[in-house]
Amino acid sequence: MRYFLVALLCLLVFAQDGECKGQVRSHEEVKIASKAVDMAMSRNGNYTYVLSEDGVLHIYKKGWVEIASMNIGAAVTKITASDRDDELFTIDKGGKLKILKISFPRDIDTSNSPIKGSPKAPIEIIVFSDFECPYCSNLAKILDKVLVRFPDKVKIIFKHCPLGYHKNAVEAAQAAIAAGIQGKFWEYHDLLFEHQKELSPQKLQELAEALGLNMEKFNKDRSSPEVTAIISRDVSQARALEIRGVPAVYINGVFQENTQEEALIKELESKLGSPQKN
């Protein structure tokens, strides 16, 4: 086992003659399997990336807890952080510069978020969505098929991420949460996607009435500070995750680039260990 000296936690003050007048207060060693050749830190300081000489990238979160490692090739000699947590610039021995996309588990607060499927399911699919987004509507149908294909193995967790250029998206999200307070989130969710091209204030009322909701409570709840706070929380999480568009899907905390049905099924089967019967 070799050790990598992470940092000298001191401020070095140099005199004009170049002599160091600083003092080393402390230092810490991080154990990795082989010699480290480079390191980088994410822009927000939440993650540190260490490249070992065998080409393995080690990813640490605050407190030097290793959360992931991946082989990026022994030819890589230098890493540099980009403006995103899930991207690095790499330079190999031949001088080639590449962008490395990283997939590692992210911490996402799902408390009080709507869940569909078995709460004890081992696979958690978190989706950031917008009720006026046609791609989100398509994904909702795919996820319904996924739940049928993987009963008791998968749960869907919904997070609100209304886009600013969708004029009715925020009000639709508020209405969905209000319906959820009366135990009808997913039913209202489906109706919103079914009628997403006509989500006027009047249509939001009609959909609530169609579900037999208590309309006085529905209207009071959807304009409440508590409902607004839920949306703000989800949007803040999306920003912290640097989500660039919706739908954004995370499977057990790892961002899923391809959200087509076949790709999702393949990813889920790999996590479950074997193909599932139709």
pLDDT in tens, 182-231: 999 999 999 999 999 999 999 999 999 999 999 999 999 999 999 999 99
Pick the CATH number of 2-101 from 3.40.50.1820, 3.20.20.70, 3.30.200.20, 2.40.10.360: 2.40.10.360
Which regions of the chain carry the CATH code 3.40.30.10? Answer: 115-272
Which regions of the chain carry the CATH code 2.40.10.360? Answer: 2-101
Give the CATH superfamily of 115-272. Answer: Glutaredoxin (3.40.30.10)
Reported confidence tier of residue 10, pLDDT bands at 50, 70, 90: very low
Predicted pLDDT of residue 28: 74
Predicted pLDDT of residue 274: 62
* Mean predicted confidence (pLDDT) in 56-81: 91
pLDDT at 146 over 70: yes
Reported confidence tier of residue 122, pLDDT bands at 50, 70, 90: very high
Helix (H), strand (E) at residue 198? none
Q: How far apart are the C-alpha atoms of 57 and 50, rounded to whole Å?
A: 6
Query: pTM for the full model?
Result: 0.78
Helix (H), strand (E) at residue 102? none
pLDDT at 21 over 70: no
User: How are beta strands 76-81 and 65-71 bridged, if at all?
Assistant: unpaired
Question: What 3-state class would DSSP assign to 18?
Answer: coil
